[in-house]
Amino acid sequence: MSTTPINHGVVHIAGPTGVGKSALAIEIAERIGAEIVGADAYQIYAGLPILTAQPAAAEMGRVPHHLIGCIPPTEAFDAQRYAELARPILADIARRGRRALVVGGTGLYFRALIDGFAPTPPPDAGLRRELEDLDLDALVGRLEAADPAAPALVDCRNKRRVVRAIEIVEGSGRPLADFRSTPRMTATGLLVTRDREELRDRIAANVRQMLAMGAIEEVKALGDGVGPTAERAIGLKDIRAYIQGALSLDQCIERMTLETQRYAKRQLTWFRNQTTFKPLDLTGTQHWSAAVESALRALE
């Protein structure tokens, strides 16, 4: 097979955490002369390379990587800012005659990069302070009063997202659906999957490996210097609870594993519903060469 079957441009490789997309992307990038642009809300932060499963230094030495470990953990970050950083990087890669693989598991980063979002009102510091003082039930009630259909479009268990939805609805005077009615993305890409049980086992093994590699020491070194976005990195609060004696090590592992498995399920559902990326099932993969050939055939 030709080593350059993919058209020039950007290829997207998405999938749930633990599925093996980063390792696959490196193999593909080496075959087609590509550079990797991360699209992960937590891997983008410095200071948490183990907990966020960033590619190891040796892996990043094989292929140029961008937007991995480059943002201070104290900074808030969102999909719009991600797109603003990623676009000039992609343009530069294209200018140099290289291909780009956008690789990650944060769906809204792909959405912002491929299609963009309808312009939304900027955060209002005064309103946000007012909203932050309300409990979650009061916030959901306020959102429903402003836009009865909005709660169905928001994760109403997530206070930050409810607050932002209120800001958008009240700041624009328009229903939230006006900013969410986007079609499925039709960009070139792969959705990497595995059998449910195999993915669950991989996630469980990955959590134990993270702790063995020093994730606890990493969180200790980070201290309290974490902003509102990095604060939500999976496992951070559980490791802190272990450090403080509120959880045993086994309890910490169990919670991290369960949270990661749930997150992976949500990621997979999102990508299946929001993209037309071609599925690539890695279940039972023993040799990357076969997986890479399957990926290249899917992308031809």
pTM of the model: 0.81
**Is 3 within a domain?**
no
- Same domain as 214, residue 136: no
**Is 2 within a domain?**
no
Residue 38 to residue 13: CA distance in whole angstroms: 10
Residue 1: predicted pLDDT: 31
Coil, strand or helix at 200? helix
Task: With CA atoms as reference, report the closest residue to 204 among 245, 264, 244.
Answer: 264
- Same domain as 146, residue 283: no
Please count the structural domains in the chain.
2
Residue 265 to residue 271: CA distance in whole angstroms: 10
pLDDT-derived band at 7 (thresholds 50, 70, 90) equals: very low
- Same domain as 197, residue 70: yes
Helix (H) or strand (E) holding 36: strand 34-38
Q: Which percentage of the chain shows pLDDT scores above 90?
A: 70
Task: With CA atoms as reference, report the closest residue to 38 among 59, 76, 68.
Answer: 68
Residue 200 to residue 198: CA distance in whole angstroms: 5
- Same domain as 145, residue 28: no
pLDDT in tens, 240-298: 999 999 999 999 999 999 999 999 999 999 999 889 999 999 999 877 888 888 888 88
- Same domain as 146, residue 36: no
Domain final position from 133, 151, 179: 179
Q: Domain range holding 166?
A: 125-179
